Chains A and B, each alone.
Chain A
Amino acid sequence: MAEGQREERKAKLRESRQREEAAARASERRQRMLKLGAAAVFGAIVVVAAFILISQSGSDSGGGNASDIRDAGLVNGQLNGISQDGLTLGDPEAKTTVIEFGDLQCPICKEYSEAVIPKLISGPVRQGKARLEFRNYLIIGPQSVDAGAAAIAAGEQGRGWNFIELFYRNQGVENSGYADDAFLESVAGAAGVRDIAEWNSARRSPAVRREMKRTSSQAVGFGFDGTPSFLVRGPHGTRKLGTPGLSVAPFEAAISQVG
């Protein structure tokens, strides 16, 4: 009898101990899950934030450095073999002209320069369907004037579009002072401007300043209030595109319509 009671008590104690241990393990499991879950969420937030920072720093700038002009090979290769006259790129016999009213300091113009212009160059311009013309629309600051004048002066030596595209690729933060003489000279050299002394003289001439004033007034006359603003001209009229989004499709449609 006493043996039976002892066995029963032992069984109860064993059951109670097993329950306590199961509860402890469940609690340990919950705590572990919470710790690991929190670590995973925290780690993910840190990694995503780092990705976004790197992405933004890559798109914002990294340019504006006179001693580190990037993408000269890319830009010069892109334009290789295409005729240039001033700031007009492409076959003089092409039926249509895509005109960009831009400010070289403008970051959205840089976006177009990288996302849309290469497609226009490799497509309609190389096919002889359209020319590309850059006209200064000076809206950001005094350095826009210096940069625009430098582009026109490069155009006088047949390297205008090399200068424009290379400037955009190496653009710094607007009005930060990066577009000084040293920077402009580095871009001109990398763009293939051969006579830097002549280029320096041309970019400081009153005629260049007058030309920029004229094209800026034209942009206002067309009703454009920001850069870049585009229009397409051809034998069948003019299409004002304004700032149509980073796609080549509206340009190609307009070229077909007016060409």
Chain B
Amino acid sequence: MATERTIRRFSGALAVAGIGVAAYIAIAESGGGAPACLAGGGGCETVAQSVYSDLGGINVALIGIAGYVALLGAAIVRGDAARFGGLMLALVGVGFSAYLTFLELFVIDAICQWCVASAVLMTALFALNAIRAFRFAGEELRSEDDGGVEPALIDPA
């Protein structure tokens, strides 16, 4: 069975990969361009030119970078706050990725493979953060059960 440390390491690696993908999209779009669609078809250009590529005037890829950085932070930090903070961030990421994928399929009518890559990374991060939160929550409390002893009951002899 995977330890929490292993899950945190995987989460950290996926968050770093997500930062890479989102940073590439943001850099490619910064000069009014678009990321290169490796499979061709111009889907990335269409999505990048769409009105949905901005959220309140901020490029969606920049919001993605912020999200992945926060998820990396949650993977580094220990404790329940990081476990459930990471879960919430990953849930936001998955929800927003689902909304963007819906827009690509049914509104913009084009698919950007970089957005799909980000959605896959975010889904994996959600799975890892959910396992971490619900399997290891309150680990500090449980460790008291396993090894903790009450000082008042220690026999001095």
By a beta-carbon cutoff of 8 Å, the part of chain A in contact with chain B is: 14, 18, 22, 25-26, 28-29, 32-33, 36-37, 39-41, 43-45, 47-48, 51-52, 54-55, 58-59, 111, 114-116, 118-119, 245-249
Given A40-B84, A48-B99, residue A115 in contact with residue B91 (CB < 8 A) = no
Q: Are B87 and A111 closer than 8 Å at their CB atoms?
A: no
Known contacts being A37-B84, A246-B109, A248-B45, is A54 close to B137, with CB within 8 Å?
Answer: no
B51–A40 touching, CB < 8 Å: no
A29 touches B99 (CB 8 A): no
A118 to B41, CA, bound (A): 17
Give the distance to chain B from A7, nearest Cβ to Cβ, in Å.
10
Known A28-B141, A37-B134, A119-B45: A48·B52 in contact at CB below 8 Å: no
Using known A-B contacts A25-B144, A40-B87, A119-B45, determine if residue A48 contacts B92 with beta carbons closer than 8 Å. Answer: yes
User: Which residues from A are CB-within-8-Å of B116?
Assistant: none
A-B CB pair tally, cutoff 8 Å: 115
How many angstroms between the C-alpha atoms of A26 and B139 in the bound complex? 10
User: Are B87's CB and A37's CB within 8 A?
Assistant: yes
Interface status of B62 (Cβ within 8 A of chain A): no
Give the 8 A-B residue pairs with the shortest CB-CB distance, closest first: A44-B91, A29-B138, A48-B95, A40-B88, A245-B109, A36-B84, A33-B137, A115-B49
Contact residues of A: prevailing secondary structure: helix
Task: Give the contacting residue for A58; candidates B43, B56, B137, B145; CB below 8 A.
Answer: B56
Interface of B is mostly: helix
Q: Please, how many residues of chain B have a CB less than 8 angstroms from a CB on the other chain?
A: 38
CB within 8 Å for A51 and B133 given contacts A25-B141, A36-B84, A40-B88:
no
Name the one of B51, B55, B137, B153 contacting A114, with C-beta atoms under 8 angstroms: B51
Tell me, rounded to whole Å, the shortest Cβ–Cβ distance linking B141 to chain A. Answer: 5
The residue among B49, B54, B89 with the most chain A CB atoms within 10 A of its own CB is: B49
Residues of B within 8 Å of A246, CB to CB, are: 46, 49-50, 108-110
8 Å CB interface, B86-127 against A:
87-89, 91-92, 95-96, 99, 108-110
Given contacts A115-B108, A119-B49, 18 further A-B contacts (CB under 8 A): A25-B142, A25-B145, A32-B138, A33-B137, A33-B138, A36-B80, A40-B133, A43-B88, A47-B92, A51-B99, A52-B96, A58-B54, A58-B57, A118-B49, A246-B46, A246-B49, A246-B110, A247-B46
